[in-house]
Amino acid sequence: MFDVTVSDRRPPTAIGSLLILVLSLAFGMVVIGLIFFLCGANPIFAFKRIFIGSFGSFYGFKETVTKAIPLILIASGLALAFRAKFWNIGAEGQLLMGAVFGTWVGLNWGPMLPSWLMIPLMFLAGFVGGAIWGVIPAILKLRFAINEVIATLMLNYICSEFLTLLIIGPWKSPKKYGFPYTDNLPDSAVLYLLPGSRIHVTTLIVALSAALILTFVIYQTRFGYEVRVIGDNPDAAKYAGINFTRTTVLIMLISGGMAGLAGVGEVAGIHHYLSYPGSISSGYGFTAIIVAWLAKLNPLYAVFSGLFFAGILVGGDAIQISLGLPAATVNIVNGILLICLIMGDFFTKNNLRFRATERI
Amino acid sequence: MEEVILSILQRTLVAGTPLLIATVGEIICERSGVLNLGVEGMMAVGAVTAFIVAHHTGNPWLGLCVAIAAGMLLAWLHAFASVSLQSNQVVSGLALTMLGLGLAGFLGKPYVGRPLAVNMNPLPIPLLCELPVLGALLFNQSPFFYIALILAIAAWFVLEHTLPGIRIRSAGENPRATEAQGVNVSRIRYLAVVVGGGFAGLAGAHLSLVYSRSWIEGMTAGRGWIVIALTIFALWNPLRAIVGAFLFGGIFVLQYILQPLGIAPNFLAMLPYLVTLLVLLLVGLRDRRRLNAPAMLAEPYRREDR
């Protein structure tokens, strides 16, 4: 047998932490491969399909970029919230609320306004919608000490039912053969797609600039410094005179707003009308949590980890079809990768020393 | 009219049973200082494994046992991450939920929509079940109901009045002092997390074997998260959890009662989640020092280096 000693270590170098990250992911892949194997699928074949379906083919890569857009947007906002240890698990609901607000503006004002005015207005409305839905749990936490994990989750369910209520009730289109969809957005409210793809360029640009801006905010501004202090040491934040309430509210306005932007992108870029919550967002709000974690809560890195997980979503669809695996497979992959990532964090913080124990 | 009320109460108890079981499990877990947000995932896996085993063997009790084992296995993963590796418990619990929901959907795919062939019959308690009104209500329930009540009372007794209970609580309040008394905090926390997982698995088994008697993806419908809220509402006391769980059971039933009144079903479906927030709001209005949360909840504990 052996005895394990755990001790603090110096923060690893950039290469060291990248190595730990890659090893964690590789370990996760091995576990996932094992699951494929147990289900009677050839793991090498499955991983090959995932890769070809996501990055290894032109069609797949276009889809990967398309799905990376909401992930990058949401994960950038989550990175900010998670840094302050505000566990916003409600991005899914915030995305939907953004979609609701954006659609309302698009349907009501779209026919009257030109595109150059309409599209910024829709994004603004989406940001406001997401921000409102995001700031509610912040207030609930600050005023009533309600755990934000539960509050944000409950608001997910509430928003999902609310959206369904709208599309089967007052917003239901008479032109959709009885399906619970809204009318199509007018042309001025529809986003430009890169020809031959579903990549809505406007949202992509918004996502990339938002990631850049938020990185700057986190590392270079007083607000970002306050966010980090609140997360690392709330007591110190108190003594440093940081306004906890104001900072938390601001964090959640931004974090919710970012998810709201993603909601507008999905409606105006891809669907063009509001439909069931499950088809507006295929769990982006939850996948983005892993994206943010893989990015070490740095929005700039979230661009890359967003692409990576978008690839898993798209590749996952590909193997569902070719191997006949259920849709939930992607959840397994996500869950395992996230567990491996947080386990990997252990090795960036600690040294392990194995010693043979003396037998008596 | 009397019959209607009786049937409503009866269904309330059925709907509250899984909430109670899982809440008691989460209380044990959190009392030891570990927050496990994976309840939703563990419940889903419990539900699907119980259904599959009961479907193939024709024995619901076997299904129940497998569900407990499955819940414990998943919880062990959380214990490994949060106790041994001192990972962030919020993220680890979320990962567990994703994994659990994924596994459940994956394993349960071939069983979607199949009705359960075997019955878990109500177990009338001799003599007591003949009492007027109360007899039919309280003493002619599925075995899960009695198990839930017994577990809640037993958990309360163990936590408050026995040595293992004191050790679990002190691991959550002051792990360093606990360790100084020669108690292995890691072992206690592992134990509490794994036991809590078993409870969640059992709760899931109730959903698929008694409550809906079938399996569909997403059938846990956020109950795992409501359980986390109930833990707070119960102020980490298993006896208070009894009240809370059946209160929420009533709200799940209320949806079906109000539906014929012409209220939109989607609005009614919001009720449990709205009430959860409302209830936490009321708890939050209390003096925070009297909330009774374990002092070291969600704080990883690391032994001093030797």
Q: Per residue in A160-195, pLDDT tens?
A: 999 999 998 888 888 888 788 888 888 888 888 888
- The answer to whether position B60 is within a domain reads yes
Q: Do A145 and B273 touch (CB under 8 A)?
A: no
Q: Do A346 and B103 touch (CB under 8 A)?
A: no
* Averaged pLDDT, B202-212: 92
Residue whose pair of structure tokens reads 């999905």 in the numeric block: A266
For A352, list phi and psi in degrees, rounded to 5: -110, 135
d(CA B254, CA B236): 26
pLDDT of residue A319: 81
**How close does chain B come to A39, measured CA to CA in Å?**
10
Q: Do A89 and B95 touch (CB under 8 A)?
A: no
d(CA B103, CA B83): 23
**Could you tell me if residue B235 is left (phi over 0), alpha (psi between -120 and 50 degrees) or otherwise beta?**
left
For B286, list phi and psi in degrees, rounded to 5: -70, 165
pLDDT of residue A77: 96
Q: Which of A229, A263, A219 is nearest to A73 (CA)?
A: A263
Which amino acid would we find at residue A301? Y
Q: Is A178 helix (H, G, I), strand (E, B) or coil?
A: coil
Q: Nearest residue on chain A to B38, judged by CA atoms?
A: A335
What DSSP state is assigned to residue B115?
Answer: P
- The answer to whether position B139 is within a domain reads yes
Q: Domain count for chain B, please give it.
A: 1
- The answer to whether position B217 is within a domain reads yes
Q: Do B102 and A289 touch (CB under 8 A)?
A: no
* Averaged pLDDT, B86-104: 90
**How close does chain A come to B119, measured CA to CA in Å?**
28
- Report H helices in chain B: 2-31, 39-57, 60-79, 89-108, 134-138, 143-161, 163-173, 175-180, 185-206, 223-233, 238-258, 265-285
Instruction: Decide if pLDDT at B100 tops 90.
Output: yes
Residue A342 is nearest to which of B95, B100, B281, comparing CB atoms? B95
- The answer to whether position B305 is within a domain reads no
Dihedral, B180, B185, B186, B190 alpha carbons, nearest 10: 170
Instruction: Decide if pLDDT at B132 tops 70.
Output: yes
Residue B94 is nearest to which of A165, A289, A330, comparing CB atoms? A289
d(CA B236, CA B238): 6
Q: Which of A305, A298, A289, A299 is nearest to A338 (CA)?
A: A289
Which domains are present in chain A? 1-41+326-360 (no CATH), 69-324 (1.10.3470)
pLDDT of residue B110: 86
Residue B98 is nearest to which of A5, A144, A331, comparing CB atoms? A331
- The answer to whether position B204 is within a domain reads yes
d(CA A44, CA A90): 35
Which residues of B fall within a CB distance of 8 Å from A146? 277, 280-281, 284
User: With bands split at pLDDT 50, 70 and 90, how would you rate the model's confidence at B291?
Assistant: low
Number of other residues whose CB lies within 10 A of the CB of residue A320: 17
Q: Which of A283, A285, A309 is nearest to A295 (CA)?
A: A309
Are B237 and B292 spatial neighbours (Cβ–Cβ below 8 Å)? yes
Q: Which two tokens stand for residue A161?
A: 């039912």
Q: Is B275 helix (H, G, I), strand (E, B) or coil?
A: helix
Residue whose pair of structure tokens reads 């109901």 in the numeric block: B145
- The answer to whether position B297 is within a domain reads no
Average predicted confidence (pLDDT) for chain B:
88
Instruction: Decide if pLDDT at B279 tops 90.
Output: no
Which amino acid would we find at residue B234? A
Write B52-55 long-range contacts (CB < 8 A, 24+).
B52/B107, B52/B108, B52/B111, B52/B215, B54/B116, B54/B118, B54/B208, B54/B209, B55/B111, B55/B114, B55/B116, B55/B117, B55/B118
Residue-wise pLDDT tens digits, B15-52: 999 999 999 999 999 999 999 999 999 999 999 999 99
What DSSP state is assigned to residue B85?
Answer: S
pLDDT of residue B202: 96
Which residues of B fall within a CB distance of 8 Å from A343? 81, 85, 87
pLDDT of residue B79: 95
Residue-wise pLDDT tens digits, B155-181: 999 999 999 999 999 999 888 888 888
The CATH number linked to B277 is 1.10.3470
Pick out chain A residues at pLDDT < 50. none
pLDDT of residue A15: 83
Instruction: Decide if pLDDT at B306 tops 60.
Output: no
Q: Do B302 and A151 touch (CB under 8 A)?
A: no
ipTM of the modeled complex: 0.86
**How close does chain B come to A277, measured CA to CA in Å?**
13
What DSSP state is assigned to residue A89?
Answer: -
Name A352's bridge partners. A6
Q: Do A327 and B105 touch (CB under 8 A)?
A: yes
Q: How far apart are the first and last CA of chain A?
A: 12
Q: Which of B62, B1, B25 is nearest to B191 (CA)?
A: B25
Percent of chain B past pLDDT 70, that is, above it, reads 97
Which domain range does residue B79 map to? 2-114+121-291
- The answer to whether position B26 is within a domain reads yes
- What DSSP element (H or E) covers A77? helix A58-83
To test the contact with chain B by mutation, choose from A9, A82, A147 the residue with the greatest count of B C-beta atoms within 10 A, namely A147
Q: Do A146 and B277 touch (CB under 8 A)?
A: yes
Output the pTM of the full model.
0.89
Q: Do A346 and B105 touch (CB under 8 A)?
A: no
